[in-house]
Amino acid sequence: MNRKSLTTWLQAALCVAFLSTDSLGGDWTRFRGPNGTGVADEVAIPVSFGEQERLLWKVPAGAGNSSPVVSNGRIFFQTTTEDGSERRLRCLALADGKEVWSRKVAGRAAPIHQKSSFASCSGTADAKRVVMPFWDGEELSVHAFSVDGEPLWVRKLGKFSSQHGAGHSPILIDGKVILSNDQDGLSEVVALSADSGEVLWKTPRTPTKANYSTPLLVQRPGAGLEVLIAGTPGASTYDLKTGTETWKWVWKSNTKQLRSVGSPIVIDGLVVFTGGNGPGDRQVAAVRLEGEGDVTDTHMAWETHKLFPYVPCMLTRGEHIYFVNDAGIAGCFVAKTGASVWTKRLGEATVSASPLIAGNKIYAPAENGTVFVFAASPEFELLATNHIDDGVIASPAAVDGKLIIRGKKNLYCFQE
């Protein structure tokens, strides 16, 4: 092994070790699971399931689109009253769905997107704590509780402005809570102490309009562990310890100022991220994570305005990108080139939830309660079409052989 190969191998090994410091085995401790990939360790979750089939438990969830996260046998998600006067963090037991504790935060009604809610933020958790952003209809704040529900700290981030409402999801790494606070006219990435809520660093970003993609961790060639954020202005990485911007690519071709809702993915040295808007414009960029500082348009590997999703996040397996877009069209594309392998319409379905991969199977819930299961393969194969009596906006989780789906009314847990 030459020196360059050895260096690359050591960097990858260090990155894997670092990413594991705040995780708990196969737990789903943040939005979209381990490092936001949507990839579950589980391979034994059921392919066919429904209201009367492989249903371990079903409990009322309360209103809200907050996606469930799971740590150490407990499920955490946020709810709201219909009138917006209250937010609540709920903790349920993974084994039977019984409520362990809940904590209330005051709120108020405010204008939001018709598919959004007053409780659309998702949390993050580790062995000691659960951290949840709350939007009270005016201000955004971050709250930390012990795993037993004891209040630890609150950090107010100020007013939040967006016609869609808030829907942010932080990450926990190396004793830090990191949140991308993108809104209309203000954009910053903030690192808080996981122990005290103290602001450790705050780095301004180019302000445009509210974006909702969640940060992830990367290790570019020759660099340490960094925070990656993508959105309307483009993509940037930030030093985990100091918040210094280390790499930046400006999305100059995004002339319509499309916003990012789905989170980015990283595959084969590329960051791939999407933008969209209500009228139906779509755009996706694949950018090489090379160089330092401000990089140029030459770093773009490929770009397209077709088929890719706006709200649902993408998935990767092997050399391919998989997705189900907002109109219910599934796709498989070659990551390096953007070439289409296959596309397939999954019935007359509208999709907002992000799919997940368990083993070689993709689970994709639609808004009408249909859950499609198809192979993560260069050849399309529909494995099952399941249904629950509920609408689904939130993204699912898979932990300990269990598939957890939050509907608009109920929280479901399916097991083989």
Summarize pLDDT for 367-412 with one digit per residue, the tens. 999 999 999 999 999 999 999 999 999 999 999 999 999 999 999 9
CA 332 to chain centre: 20
pLDDT, tens digit (0-9, with 9 covering 90-100), for 97-118: 999 999 999 999 999 999 999 9
Q: What is the pLDDT of residue 5?
A: 38
Please give the Cα distance from 352 to 260 (Å, whole number): 13
Among 146, 142, 151, CA closest to 171: 142
pLDDT, tens digit (0-9, with 9 covering 90-100), for 188-211: 999 999 999 999 999 999 999 999
Q: Give 11's pLDDT tier (boundaries 50, 70, 90).
A: very low
**φ/ψ of residue 35, rounded to 5:** 50, 30
Please give the Cα distance from 373 to 383 (Å, whole number): 5
Q: Give 221's pLDDT tier (boundaries 50, 70, 90).
A: confident
Burial (0-12, 13-18, 19+ Cβ within 10 Å), 290? middle
Give Cα separations from 247 to 192, 218, 222, 408 (angstroms): 22, 12, 12, 39
- Secondary-structure class of domain 3-415 per CATH: mainly beta
Buried (b) or exposed (e) across 166-196, using 16+ Cβ within 10 A?
A: bbbbbbbbeebbbbbbbbeebbbbbbbebee
- Mean pLDDT in residue range 122-137: 97
pLDDT, tens digit (0-9, with 9 covering 90-100), for 42-78: 888 999 999 999 999 999 999 999 999 999 999 999 9
388: its two tokens:
């629950």
Q: What is the pLDDT of residue 117?
A: 94
Q: What is the pLDDT of residue 90?
A: 98
